[in-house]
Structure 1
Amino acid sequence: MRATLRWAHSDLRTHRGEALFITLATAGIVASLLLAAALFGYATNPWQRTFTEAHGAHVWIHTAASTDVRELARLDGVESVAGPYRTESTTVAARGTRAAVELRGTPDLPTVGRPLVTVGHWLDPAEPDGVVLESRLARALLAEPGDTLTLPGSARTLTVEGIADSAEPGYSPGAQPGLVWALPPAVRADAGRVTGLRLKDPGDTDYAVQRAVTVLGAGTVGEVSTWQQERAAAQGENRLLGQVLGLFGLGALAAAGFAVHGAIGTRIRGHLRDISVLKAIGFTPGQVVRIFLLQHLAFAALGAVAAAALTEGLGNRVPGRLGDAVGVWQGLPGHTVTLSAVPVGAVLFIGVTTGLAAWRAGRVPPVPVPRPAAPAGGRLTAVARSALGLRLPAALVLGCHKAFAGRGRSLAGVARLTLPLLLMVVAMSAWTTLDRFHSSPGRVGLPAALSVRSDGDLGDAGVRALLAADPGVGAAYPGVELAALLPGQTGTVALRGLGTRAHPYPYTLAEGRAARGPDEAVAGQGMLDLVHARVGDWVRITVGERPQILHIVGRSIEPQNAGRVVTTSLDTLRENDAHLSPAFYQLRLRPGADPRRVASALTRAGHGHLDVHPVTNPADGLSPLRGVVTALIAVLALIGLVELLTAIGGTVRESERDVLALRAIGMSPRQITAITVTATTCTALAAAVAATVLGLPLAHRLIDAQGGSSGIGAGIAQSPSPALLLLLGTGAVLGAAALSALPASRAARRRLADTLSAVS
């Protein structure tokens, strides 16, 4: 044991840099996997916990005010019913901020879909104008218990009594109205009813919705939302961040395993004589294998423990979503198991790859076997001989020949270096795609910057005049959004009428063409998936009692509502309902116009009658992804550095046998050094080219697959700029040249006696 420890200590002193890089790379990999687990838990658990504590409804159905919903309680599979509650759609304002809300008349604290009051108290009959706000709405309005809300256009006021969490969809400006619970007398404009159904089997949700719509009549149902849609909306970007971290963490773990495998294999080939001596003095094959195995397991374990300790101790202090995710994750039941399993799994994977490489050390015979007389790179190829005949520099030709002589080890080295570079290309593609959402939102389905709604007092002509008078507004597209029942009546999607045939809305299309003629429409990927349709199909949806038959002529990139949107012109919808008027306007601004300035100017010009909101950009919630990608690239760079050092060490050792021959034909130490440096840079260049060629299509597939699963649809992936790819390749090549120059120079200037000893 003492001899084993001495050998391990001596080997560690010789390869300190490699030990440090492996430890740091393992720490980065384990940290990314732990953060991925935290984000997955954070994405699912808060909503699930709220849904369970609130005894949430699996289905919410909005109906007309005159609809008799008593039959819903007697449907098969329905366990209990919430409501029906009277509703009123209105706008509230506080501290200069306005928000569209749904007032829900709730006489008592419900048992199904119960709001979880976090601040203040529930409604008090002694305060008839008191309300409880959903927590997201309260944050948007900066409202607290005791504040007064005004209803623009009227003298009514409401007093905030409490703030509550709910499992129903939260407030989203311009997309989802906020939820306000009030006593029935406070709901004055009876707009309809909302009823919640809690099912015995949540898996029967689609069937329950179909039965409910059939019993009530399609013409009476305005909107249907299910618990699956609410859960998906709540998970949102957190799940995507977890997927990105998990994917790159696993990829980096594989790259680290291969890098360790290559490093050990190269070291074994360079220490064949030492290993033979160890066996000659009594070391068994198992002891030799354990020397390498325990060393690298110790490096990996040190990095894994450090990552687990830092994530556990400091993870919840990271500002933003990552810190919140770690804080929630630490309170989950499976937290301890995950905190232990992920580091152990990473160490075991590295141990397996280490063991496979170290097994070769156990097979080294006690008596050194003479090396083959043939040169490691094989005979000169016809291309190399032709290049020498053209009087190209001999160092360049021989270096390229050494790198691409068809040896299996050379190809394996290129493959190992390609993997971290390929993952870097994928990471840069994700960064570029995210940047495109911010810099060119019109190219990813967000041509409009602002959404404007009116309280009706100005009239459509007055709103148009105000919009036309603002110099920052380039175009205003009238629109209306309706809830439409799907075929089979299993849910609702958003049916939008945007623009007119004379002034069509500038969709961003991934397939097909724009909707120009009557009954033509474009749909998001989420909508097409729901109805199992493709571009070119006809779909029949129902708005109230009116069926709407539309020809899907294109697939649009639709970042909102999980892609469950079908869009046509306002003229097409008016053919079915002549009294339909615009409910909002989508504004495309002139180049250089500031959205905040235009929004402020329109709000002042409207004298409180206009509600102006920026169009929600899904990339706004993905800002932590930038830091994540940066950290992952740093980890991958460490792994690539380990592989480069391995390749340099192997190339230098294999060139030692050629030094005598090269000196004999008159080559100087500088030329011999150039051969090794060229061989290493050619390996790096081949890996960079392969990573670019393979990484770009892989990145497109991964990003488009994520876009398709989220409902946005394929077609959003963006490749990094050629300059950025060139920078990555140049950095790899120059880094290989710089790292290999010193060891190659030392090897070329070794004494002849040392060289003879090395090759004997």
Structure 2
Amino acid sequence: MRATLRWAHADFRAHRGEALFVVLASAGIIASLLLAGALFGYAANPWQRVFNQSHGAHIWLHTRAGADTAALSRVDGVAALSGPYRTTATTVESRGARVGVTLRAAGAEPPQTGRPLVTDGSWLTGPDTAAGGGPGAGNDTVVLEASVARALWAEPGDTVRVTGPDGAPHALEVSGIAEVAEPRYHPGGGPGIGWVLDRTLDEVAHGDTGQSVGLRLHDPDDTDFTVQRAVTLLGSDRVAQVTKWQQARAEAGGDDRLLGQMFAVFGLGALLAAALAAAGAIGARVRGQLRDIAILKAVGFTPGQVTRGFLVQHLAFALLGVALGTAAIALLGARIPGRIGEATAVWQDLPGHTALMIGIPCGAVLLIAAATGLSAWRAGRVPPVPVARAALPSATPMTALGRRALGARVPPALVLGWRAAFPRRGRTLAAVARLALPLVLITVALVAWSTLDQFRSRPAQMGLAAALTVRAGQSPGTNDAELEQALAAVPDVAAVHPGAEMAALVPGQTGTITLRGLGTAQDPYPSKVVEGRAVSGPDEAVAGQGLLDLLGVRVGAWVRMTVEGRPQILHVVGRTIEPESGGRVITTSIDALRERDPALRPDFHALVLREGADPVAVSASLAGTAGGTLEVRQTPNPVDRLEPARAVIAALIAVLALIGLIELLTLIGTGVRDRGRDLLALKAIGLTPRQIGSMIVTAAGLTALASAVVGTTLGVLSGRWLVDTQGASSGIGAGIAQLPPIPVLLTVIVAAVLGAVGAAALPATRAARRRPADSLSETL
């Protein structure tokens, strides 16, 4: 054992550069994996992120005015209070959209507990606090919760109309948009949240207010018990509503699941790519010491001693690299500029942080130990005669095509670079596969990015043909035909489709689905049909993937359902992309629904806009239609829930690029070292240093080119399959995958080649400058 340790120490002193590379490669891989874990946690659990950043409250009590909420701070288990805030129920209107909002009176500084996170604009200002004529210098201001702002198309600087309990309108300027860890607003649900100054609330409510107070607990599991004690303390007659953190998290659970599944695939792929990169770096160093191993065995080292020496040495390098990478992320990760640093800072407070900080490094050490064990076992089998290894050819013989190319005056660097890049079939496939894996994952990430962009830029292709939904009061004097004519006369409105939605019971009455009548037989709604055909006759319908999976049927089946106690039988002739209600929607024409109920009137009208039209401008134009009684809403877009994925995908591409760079450096270093004798021979026959350097750079570029072509091709195919599979499992349906544009894929290929050329420049220069005497030992 003493001889083994002495040899390991001597080997380290003789190959410090290689040892440093192994340590830094291990540290870089661990840092990349930890950053990937931080990004996954940041994006896949948005509610928890907001809760931690805002120091959120676990319980919100909405009470009547006069309740002694200060006594709640003395309840056992309560760590802090948020508020109490005076509140009032209002209606906020902007550009024809109308949303119920509970206004809370807050101070000029956000509270510490239950603090709204302002993501756009600024916190509350007013005529007496604003300066310089900026936002809020002339009007009272309001901060809207993000889901409320989306429903109103409101942005900082816009003016909204707030109607208080007395019916009097008040103009408030939106100073900011904020996120909170409370239930979000959605049409048909509870009211949204807005914050105003005390003076503004007095003007809107005129004394008709309630109270809201948030309780942050020491132990979140004591929520139910604490609610009981709080209600008992205040009096059940004074508590109007209780909101618990589990309710808010459950509402955001669908987004968490979708993002979690998306990034789990990337995480496993990144782990595999990192594993191959680490194994490649260690294997390359072992192969570079075959001559030393042969000499050791010649002087008496047994195969077991050689194996143990490599295990001890490389495990020490691995432990050092893992420790450096983990310490760097733990201490400096939060200081990285941009979204990566923010994600790392928030990740420290998210569930699972400790498990990943321990599990990823430990798993990496075990993986490196397995790779080192395999390489060390191969080292133990090296023959103790170095001449036997030197006598073997280091590259394939020159082919007839190569000889003809040299005879045709093709530059020797190109011909020899091609020969060096693709020496033998087995080694070529292994090198291309290892370098192609990060590029496959990068291309898959680009497919996901392009799909999100498609939802935003071309919603009609993703099942969102109607940009706006208009609802009118169902007064006896309302004429549907006149309303449709008025809506069609609004500029930039291309089509108006009457619609109605209702709940229907599936066969066996074991579940509820959404039955939608949209469009007429003469003017059908332009649903995005990806399988089958569109509705063209009576009793025909199209359905989402979620409904087909629920009923266990396929396109072409007849479906019987019960609506308001009466049967409705429809023929499913097509499958559509259906982003709403988990795809459990069946859509027919409103004429088919009137066969069951002749008195049926449209609940809403779906407006299809002209290409390039601005939904916000059209919504503002609709505000004065039908005497201002319209309620205009934007069609929900699932990409709104996946916005955090954009920044994380971009950061993930950077992490994968780092892993690919480490793999590329390993391949280049191995190639230069294995071709040492060839370079000596080429110099002897007259190749100049520039030609030798060009040959090495050309070999790296060709290897990267082959890997990039293979990686992008496989990434496009696997990315389409993964996105469509995810769409089918979520109920939206397959057929939503959007491939990146050709220029983007070409940019990936060009970037990979340029990266390889740049990474090979320094090793090529060093190899070209070596004198024949420096390389003489490589022939022994």
Which residue among 247, 252, 259 is the counterpart of 2:265? Answer: 247
Q: Does 1:737 align with 2:757?
A: yes
Counterpart of 1:290 in structure 2 is 312
For 1:649 and 1:366, the matched residues in 2 are separated by 25
Alignment of 1:27-426 (within 5 A): 27-36=31-40, 93-94=91-92, 171-173=185-187, 176-178=188-190, 234-276=252-294, 280=299, 284-285=305-306, 286-307=308-329, 326=347, 329-330=350-351, 336-364=354-382, 368-426=386-444
For 1:272 and 1:736, the matched residues in 2 are separated by 27
Which residue among 573, 576, 580 is the counterpart of 1:556? Answer: 576
Which residue among 594, 613, 617 is the counterpart of 2:633? Answer: 613
Give the C-alpha shift of residue 99 in structure 1: 5.2
Q: Does 1:477 align with 2:497?
A: yes
Counterpart of 1:520 in structure 2 is 540
For 2:394 and 2:13, the matched residues in 1 are separated by 31
State the AA in 1 paired with 2:556.
G
Give the C-alpha shift of residue 245 in structure 1: 2.7
* Contact 1:521–1:567 (8 Å) recurs in 2: yes
State the AA in 2 paired with 1:345.
G
Unaligned runs of 5+ in 2: 61-88, 103-113, 116-144, 155-161, 170-179, 193-245
* Contact 1:692–1:725 (8 Å) recurs in 2: yes
When normalised by structure 1's length, the TM-score is 0.74
The structure-2 alpha-carbon separation of the partners of 1:36 and 1:415, relative to structure 1 and needing over 3 Å to count, comes to same
Give the C-alpha shift of residue 497 in structure 1: 0.8
Give the C-alpha shift of residue 606 in structure 1: 4.0
* RMSD between superposed Cα atoms in Å: 4.1
Which residue among 737, 743, 746 is the counterpart of 1:717? Answer: 737
Give the C-alpha shift of residue 269 in structure 1: 2.1
SS at match of 2:91: strand
The structure-2 alpha-carbon separation of the partners of 1:730 and 1:609, relative to structure 1 and needing over 3 Å to count, comes to same
Which residue among 647, 657, 660 is the counterpart of 1:627? Answer: 647
Give the C-alpha shift of residue 305 in structure 1: 4.3
Counterpart of 1:207 in structure 2 is none
State the AA in 2 paired with 1:93.
T
Q: Which stretch shows the higher mean deviation, 398-407 or 441-450? A: 398-407
Unaligned runs of 5+ in 1: 55-90, 104-117, 120-133, 155-164, 181-227
Give the C-alpha shift of residue 420 in structure 1: 0.7
Q: Which stretch shows the higher mean deviation, 503-512 or 275-284? A: 275-284
Q: Which stretch shows the higher mean deviation, 279-288 or 586-595? A: 279-288
For 2:277 and 2:380, the matched residues in 1 are separated by 20
The structure-2 alpha-carbon separation of the partners of 1:393 and 1:567, relative to structure 1 and needing over 3 Å to count, comes to same
State the AA in 1 paired with 2:278.
V
* Contact 1:137–1:178 (8 Å) recurs in 2: no
Give the C-alpha shift of residue 35 in structure 1: 4.7
Alignment of 1:483-494 (within 5 A): 483-494=503-514
Q: Which stretch shows the higher mean deviation, 563-572 or 10-19? A: 10-19
Give the C-alpha shift of residue 643 in structure 1: 1.4
Q: Percent identity?
A: 49
Q: Which stretch shows the higher mean deviation, 430-439 or 729-738? A: 729-738
For 1:484 and 1:101, the matched residues in 2 are separated by 28
SS at match of 1:637: helix
The structure-2 alpha-carbon separation of the partners of 1:229 and 1:698, relative to structure 1 and needing over 3 Å to count, comes to farther
For 1:229 and 1:541, the matched residues in 2 are separated by 31
For 1:257 and 1:636, the matched residues in 2 are separated by 12
* Contact 1:99–1:178 (8 Å) recurs in 2: no
* Contact 1:451–1:615 (8 Å) recurs in 2: yes
State the AA in 2 paired with 1:249.
G
The structure-2 alpha-carbon separation of the partners of 1:546 and 1:46, relative to structure 1 and needing over 3 Å to count, comes to farther
For 2:25 and 2:730, the matched residues in 1 are separated by 37
Q: Does 1:752 align with 2:772?
A: yes
Q: Does 1:506 align with 2:526?
A: yes
Q: Number of aligned pairs? A: 628
Q: Does 1:453 align with 2:471?
A: yes
Alignment of 1:541-580 (within 5 A): 541-580=561-600
Q: Which stretch shows the higher mean deviation, 505-514 or 462-471? A: 462-471
For 2:767 and 2:675, the matched residues in 1 are separated by 8
Give the C-alpha shift of residue 376 in structure 1: 2.0
Give the C-alpha shift of residue 295 in structure 1: 0.5
The structure-2 alpha-carbon separation of the partners of 1:328 and 1:379, relative to structure 1 and needing over 3 Å to count, comes to closer
SS at match of 2:388: coil
State the AA in 2 paired with 1:329.
L
State the AA in 2 paired with 1:296.
A
Counterpart of 1:683 in structure 2 is 703
SS at match of 1:177: coil
State the AA in 2 paired with 1:710.
S
Counterpart of 1:440 in structure 2 is 458
* Contact 2:473–2:629 (8 Å) recurs in 1: yes
Counterpart of 1:130 in structure 2 is none
SS at match of 1:754: coil
The structure-2 alpha-carbon separation of the partners of 1:308 and 1:7, relative to structure 1 and needing over 3 Å to count, comes to same
Residue by residue over 1:627-684, the C-alpha shift from the partner in whole angstroms, topping out at 9 and shown as x without a partner, is: 1111111111111111111111122122221234323443333223333222222211
Residue by residue over 1:312-370, the C-alpha shift from the partner in whole angstroms, topping out at 9 and shown as x without a partner, is: x789x97999699848734xxx6644543344224433433343334434444666353
Residue by residue over 1:127-148, the C-alpha shift from the partner in whole angstroms, topping out at 9 and shown as x without a partner, is: xxxxxxx997899799xxxx97
* Contact 1:451–1:613 (8 Å) recurs in 2: yes
For 2:764 and 2:147, the matched residues in 1 are separated by 63
Counterpart of 2:746 in structure 1 is 726
State the AA in 2 paired with 1:505.
Y
* Contact 1:484–1:494 (8 Å) recurs in 2: yes
State the AA in 1 paired with 2:761.
A
For 2:757 and 2:566, the matched residues in 1 are separated by 71
* Contact 1:479–1:584 (8 Å) recurs in 2: yes
The structure-2 alpha-carbon separation of the partners of 1:629 and 1:21, relative to structure 1 and needing over 3 Å to count, comes to farther
The structure-2 alpha-carbon separation of the partners of 1:327 and 1:295, relative to structure 1 and needing over 3 Å to count, comes to closer
SS at match of 2:611: coil
* Contact 2:513–2:585 (8 Å) recurs in 1: yes
The structure-2 alpha-carbon separation of the partners of 1:329 and 1:669, relative to structure 1 and needing over 3 Å to count, comes to closer
Counterpart of 2:158 in structure 1 is none
* Contact 1:258–1:353 (8 Å) recurs in 2: no
Give the C-alpha shift of residue 742 in structure 1: 3.3
For 2:437 and 2:374, the matched residues in 1 are separated by 19
Which residue among 474, 490, 496 is the counterpart of 2:516? Answer: 496
SS at match of 1:392: coil
For 2:342 and 2:389, the matched residues in 1 are separated by 58
SS at match of 1:694: helix
For 1:229 and 1:520, the matched residues in 2 are separated by 39
For 1:459 and 1:424, the matched residues in 2 are separated by 55
Q: Does 1:23 align with 2:27?
A: yes
* Contact 2:151–2:634 (8 Å) recurs in 1: no
The structure-2 alpha-carbon separation of the partners of 1:648 and 1:46, relative to structure 1 and needing over 3 Å to count, comes to closer
State the AA in 2 paired with 1:287.
G
Residue by residue over 1:529-575, the C-alpha shift from the partner in whole angstroms, topping out at 9 and shown as x without a partner, is: 11111111111111112211111111100111111111111111111
For 1:320 and 1:150, the matched residues in 2 are separated by 45
Give the C-alpha shift of residue 755 in structure 1: 2.5
SS at match of 2:710: helix
Give the C-alpha shift of residue 297 in structure 1: 3.1
The structure-2 alpha-carbon separation of the partners of 1:100 and 1:480, relative to structure 1 and needing over 3 Å to count, comes to farther
